[in-house]
């Protein structure tokens, strides 16, 4: 079947942590049976304990468990699962895995394999954006593995330049090039890093902007040519291209820019007949108010809760419903939102020691309980944070009538948030909430690395 929409009854949750727990609860809410997979390191995890069935798919390393495509498909078939929910990370953007699902008559709750392939390749995604009249960053039309071909292509783009891995993400395979004298060396280094990290050494070239904001638009598509935008998020608080804090709406945008971003994003998603939840990513230049498409994430994002608390839309439930053929009008009938929301990622890291991972046992866990505060987490007192996976252990989501009130509520929430036994990024966020530049929204994507951490070392 070609990723067709059909009713399903039993869903395998191909993930771990809070998003897996969320999917288990969503399946239960919708009257579906759930099967949790887990590695040997996760046998006591909440998604395992709360699912209708659970099965170990391998040892702790993700390549042998959560990324073991054939083992997961075999598990789904052996337990009569007719759908698989991928969440984010792991296999959520793996087109080969979607192909396997389709070949075995299992519904992948997400976009078609072709959508993942097209939008996962940065050069292809750029061409599709241009085709759908979406503004793109000035750059090369193709990706290059040859240094000489790349150097020739760079002549038509003004310095500084940004070299980006075609198949990259998370800041790997990226280099800033200030002038032509260092281009060749930077390209070779960037290509080698990309090949080592992603198995693909092709590099795309684009204009580099000194101070920008990272804005993403949440979209839902029905897979049949209709798509809607249900809000944007400002994800500019980043360290080494990794997001730390996300806000919605993006307070820096004018109503006109916001409308243009939403319309542009919905147009692109509809143009590629996207199915499910995804985000269209842009850089935004506050000086010129210009925005440019950079990529599409063909999955739900870690930061999706800020959109949920603003709009009242359960985006995980929406993924399930769209996969079964639900109308977008039924999922989001009233396109409105209220207030301001902020998400703080709580990671098991010692932020004062260069954000070093800090696995261990959580000896005390007491999250805040107050109006306008939501915690998305799968940890508990006595839970062991293992070193094999992403270090995020919780998301603190704040909702209030305005950004200023949300910031005040966040400070109150952190004061009553007790986590002992491991180091976390809670202290980082509390310092952030005392910083005038952040409070006044006077930041950029490089601000944390170049200013905030420099001032707080």
Active site residues: 299
| Residues 8/83, Cβ–Cβ less than 8 Å | yes
Measure the CA–CA gap between 409 and 427, rounded to whole angstroms. 16
DSSP letter for each residue of 395-424: EEEEEESSHHHHHHHHHHHHHT-EEESS--
Q: What dihedral angle (degrees, nearest 10) is formed by the CA atoms of 254, 259, 261, 266?
A: 170
Residue 397 in contact with residue 375, Cβ under 8 Å?
Answer: yes
Half-sphere exposure of 322 (CA within 13 A, CB side): 33
* Cβ neighbours around 366 below 10 Å, total: 11
Answer yes or no: are the C-beta atoms of 360 and 422 closer than 8 Å: yes
Distances (CA, A) of 28 to 18, 73, 375, 379, 408: 15, 22, 20, 20, 35
Query: Residues 91, 37: contact at Cβ < 8 Å?
Result: no
CA distances from 59 to 38, 41, 226, 388, 410 (A): 9, 7, 41, 10, 38
Q: For the chain, how far is it from start to end, CA to CA, in angstroms? A: 55
- Report the candidate in 355, 358, 357 with the shortest Cα–Cα distance to residue 456: 355
Closest listed residue to residue 21, CA positions, set 83, 87, 110: 87
Give the dihedral of Cα atoms 235, 238, 243, 244; nearest 10 deg.
-100
Q: β-strands 83-85, 10-13: how paired?
A: parallel
Helix and strand totals (H; E) in the chain: 17, 22
Contact of 118 with 127, CB cutoff 8 Å? no
**Phi and psi torsions of 213, nearest 5°:** -110, 150
Question: What's the CA gap between 263 and 268, in Å, rounded?
Answer: 9
């Amino acid at each position: 079947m070609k990723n067709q929409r059909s009713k399903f009854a039993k869903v395998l949750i191909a993930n771990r942590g809070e998003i897996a727990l969320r999917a288990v609860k969503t399946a239960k809410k919708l009257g579906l049976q759930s099967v949790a997979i887990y590695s040997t390191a996760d046998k006591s995890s909440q998604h395992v304990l709360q699912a209708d069935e659970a099965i170990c798919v391998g040892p702790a390393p993700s390549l042998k468990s959560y990324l073991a495509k054939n083992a997961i498909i075999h598990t789904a078939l052996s337990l009569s699962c007719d759908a698989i929910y991928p969440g984010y990370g792991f296999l959520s953007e793996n087109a080969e895995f979607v192909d396997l699902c389709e070949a075995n008559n299992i519904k992948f709750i997400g976009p078609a394999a072709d959508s993942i392939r097209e939008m996962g390749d940065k050069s292809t995604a750029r061409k599709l954006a241009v085709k759908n009249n979406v503004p793109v960053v000035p750059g090369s039309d193709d990706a290059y593995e040859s240094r000489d071909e790349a150097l020739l292509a760079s002549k038509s783009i003004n310095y500084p330049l940004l070299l980006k891995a075609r198949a990259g993400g998370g800041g790997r395979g990226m280099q800033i090039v200030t002038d032509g004298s260092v281009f060749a060396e930077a390209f070779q280094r960037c290509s080698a890093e990309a090949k080592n990290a992603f198995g693909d050494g092709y590099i795309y070239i684009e204009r580099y902007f000194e101070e920008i904001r990272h804005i993403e638009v949440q979209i839902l598509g029905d897979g049949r040519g209709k798509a809607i935008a249900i809000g944007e998020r400002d994800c500019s608080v980043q360290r080494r291209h990794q997001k730390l804090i996300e806000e919605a709406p993006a307070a820096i945008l004018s109503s006109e820019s916001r409308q243009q971003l939403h319309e542009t994003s919905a147009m692109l998603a509809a143009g590629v007949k996207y199915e499910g939840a995804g985000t269209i990513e842009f850089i935004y230049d506050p000086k010129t108010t210009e925005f440019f498409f950079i990529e599409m994430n063909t999955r739900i994002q870690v930061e999706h809760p800020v959109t949920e608390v603003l709009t009242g839309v359960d985006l995980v439930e929406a993924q399930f419903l769209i996969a079964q053929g639900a109308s977008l009008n039924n999922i989001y009938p009233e396109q409105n939102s209220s207030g301001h929301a902020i998400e703080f990622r709580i990671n098991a890291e010692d932020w004062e020691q260069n954000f070093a991972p800090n696995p261990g046992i959580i000896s005390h866990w007491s999250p805040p309980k107050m109006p306008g505060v939501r915690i998305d987490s799968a940890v508990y007192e006595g839970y062991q944070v293992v070193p094999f996976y992403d270090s995020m252990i919780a998301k603190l989501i704040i909702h209030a009538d305005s950004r200023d009130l949300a910031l005040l509520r966040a400070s109150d929430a952190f004061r009553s948030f007790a986590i002992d036994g491991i180091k976390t990024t809670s202290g980082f966020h509390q310092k952030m909430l005392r910083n005038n530049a952040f409070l006044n929204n006077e930041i950029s994507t490089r601000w944390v690395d170049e200013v905030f951490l420099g001032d707080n070392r």
